[in-house]
Structure 1
Amino acid sequence: MQNLAQPLSLSAGTATEAALPESAQRVARLLAELGHDKPIVMLPSTGKTSAEAAAGLGCSVAEIAKSIVFRRLDDDAPVVVIASGSNRVDEAKVAARVGALGKADARFVREKTGYAIGGVCPIGHAVAPVMLLDRDLFRHDSLWAAAGHPHAVFNLTPQQLQAITGAEVADVAQEGAA
């Protein structure tokens, strides 16, 4: 797939880091602290959905590592499932691993992760979440994840994603959804 858009790449510690939205600047600093050397990319149009991000990057939807936030009912803990963009998350599979789930509204997502819906990054959450990582992400050599803002993303491997999140790898996809 050809990338028709010309995203703007920005790295932590560069003069252009200031061009990033504040939440993406925070992610750039976190990534730099973790030794991640790939820049944050600002998409010219929104990357709120996996399809929009993939179109802007010229990659497949499956290569988008989307963060889906749930609320665990017994303790109100945030549960973040990082799933392949082509998969629908099977809530029953997730609940079987972490406990009964409820929907997370925009206020809960912002309060618990520190990010707005559409820009939830896999790292740097306000409250340490319970995390699961979709095993289907390991079918790809390269992934793109949100960098704290609906227009901001960063590139990494599935192995790097697991290392920086410490998330358990699990089967979280609805059957026949990929």
Structure 2
Amino acid sequence: MMDSTSTTSHGSGNLDDLPDSARRVALLLREHGHAKPVVMLPETGKTSAEAAAGLDCSVAQIAKSILFRRRDDDAPVLVIASGVNRVDEKKVAAQVGAIGRADAKFVREKTGYAIGGVCPIGHATPPVTLIDADLLALDSLWAAAGHPHAVFNLSPQELVAMTGAPVADVALRETA
């Protein structure tokens, strides 16, 4: 179990201690009426497992943001997936058109965030977004808040409301 000294909580007033990108997310969350603070992890949350360990939650509760590049028009495609799931690119392509991998430069240009800190909201270029249907089975989620050490807590319903994104089956299912 995490003790109260293992994370530093921000967002309820002292935004000055947050890195610029996390402060921007905290302000966006306030605009959305989201009262929960941005939390700074002592260790990086770049992977779902690292974030879950730092938050003392299940890996499934990590709402990871994965960005793709749509081939037809170079549009960013954001998939918000459960931390335990691999994204099935064929399922995503069936919903949004052919996609390819996004490199770090594309991610930074289109989202305004570095890989490992891509928040579900507040992108430089509004992405085509899909939300992993598996996230809706959970009570509580943690998503990146603009920085590899910054996260925020929300419900699946809040995620859908904030992004306005459709819920879809995007998980790769292993066949026996």
Fold shared, TM-score > 0.5 on shorter chain: yes
Match of 1:29 among 24, 27, 30: 27
Provide the C-alpha distance between the structure 2 equivalents of 1:56 and 1:100, rounded to a whole number of angstroms.
Answer: 35
CA-to-partner distance for each residue in 1:5-57, whole Å, 9 max, x for gaps? 71111015x1x211000000000000001100000000000000000000000
The number of equivalent residue pairs is 174
Paired residues of 1:87 and 1:173 also in contact (CA < 8 A):
yes
Are residues 1:3 and 2:2 paired? Answer: yes
Are residues 1:41 and 2:39 paired? Answer: yes
Are residues 1:56 and 2:54 paired? Answer: yes
Provide the C-alpha distance between the structure 1 equivalents of 2:140 and 2:48, rounded to a whole number of angstroms.
Answer: 15
Paired residues of 1:3 and 1:55 also in contact (CA < 8 A):
no
Provide the C-alpha distance between the structure 2 equivalents of 1:107 and 1:158, rounded to a whole number of angstroms.
Answer: 29
Provide the C-alpha distance between the structure 2 equivalents of 1:3 and 1:165, rounded to a whole number of angstroms.
Answer: 30
Partner of 2:18: 20
Gaps of 5+ in 2: none
Match of 2:66 among 64, 68, 83: 68
Match of 1:108 among 106, 109, 117: 106
Identical aligned residues as a percent: 71
Which amino acid is the alignment partner of residue 56 of structure 1? G
Provide the C-alpha distance between the structure 2 equivalents of 1:36 and 1:97, rounded to a whole number of angstroms.
Answer: 29
RMSD: 1.2
Three-state SS of the structure 1 residue aligned to 2:24 is helix
Which amino acid is the alignment partner of residue 93 of structure 2? A
Are residues 1:153 and 2:151 paired? Answer: yes
Provide the C-alpha distance between the structure 1 equivalents of 2:11 and 2:21, rounded to a whole number of angstroms.
Answer: 14
Provide the C-alpha distance between the structure 2 equivalents of 1:145 and 1:18, rounded to a whole number of angstroms.
Answer: 21
Partner of 1:167: 165
| Structure 1 residue 3 displacement after superposition | 2.4
| Structure 1 residue 159 displacement after superposition | 0.1
- Which range moved further: 25-34 or 168-177? 168-177
Match of 1:99 among 97, 100, 117: 97
Gaps of 5+ in 1: none
| Structure 1 residue 101 displacement after superposition | 0.5
CA-to-partner distance for each residue in 1:111-158, whole Å, 9 max, x for gaps? 000000000000000001000000000111000000000000000000
Provide the C-alpha distance between the structure 2 equivalents of 1:150 and 1:176, rounded to a whole number of angstroms.
Answer: 29
Which portions of structure 1, spanning 4 or more consecutive aligned residues, are displaced by more than 6 angstroms? none
TM-score by length of 1: 0.95
Which amino acid is the alignment partner of residue 7 of structure 1? T
Provide the C-alpha distance between the structure 2 equivalents of 1:103 and 1:89, rounded to a whole number of angstroms.
Answer: 12
Three-state SS of the structure 2 residue aligned to 1:123 is coil
| Structure 1 residue 176 displacement after superposition | 3.4
Partner of 1:140: 138
Provide the C-alpha distance between the structure 2 equivalents of 1:107 and 1:165, rounded to a whole number of angstroms.
Answer: 23
